[in-house]
Amino acid sequence: MKSKLLLITSIALTLYLIISTLVYILSADDFVARAPVLGAIYLLFVIIHEGLVLLAVLLQWCGYFLMKKGFVIFATLLLLVAAVELGLLLYPLLFLIPLAILNLFVRKPVAPPTVQ
């Protein structure tokens, strides 16, 4: 049986990726219109942040489906790096840090017994 907490955090992380991508891209237009240099720097940080979160989402789902705790731990580390990387905004810190903490409490799923 797979961990329900891991499923919940995987779904929440996927929703975060979808919603944050839309929010950051829409707010990047405002930055580029006001100050092109700051907009370019902001867009660079957002692309790095979203790339790290995308990789964390993929590893999180691999850990869920393959029942491997190593994927989940690496996804947690990527979430922490992504939260600190874009930590100038409060939005990633409020969402990614609690998800990373929840990932640490996920138990390794028990594999079904094999018949010999």
**Coil vs helix vs strand at 87:** coil
Kind plus residue range of the DSSP H or E element containing 8: helix 4-34
What is the C-alpha to C-alpha distance for residues 71 and 6, in angstroms, rounded to an integer? Answer: 12
**CA Rg, the chain, in Å?**
17
Share of the chain above pLDDT 90, in %: 22
What is the model's pLDDT at position 51?
93
Q: How much is the pTM?
A: 0.79
pLDDT of residue 1: 38
Whether residue 111 has pLDDT greater than 90: no
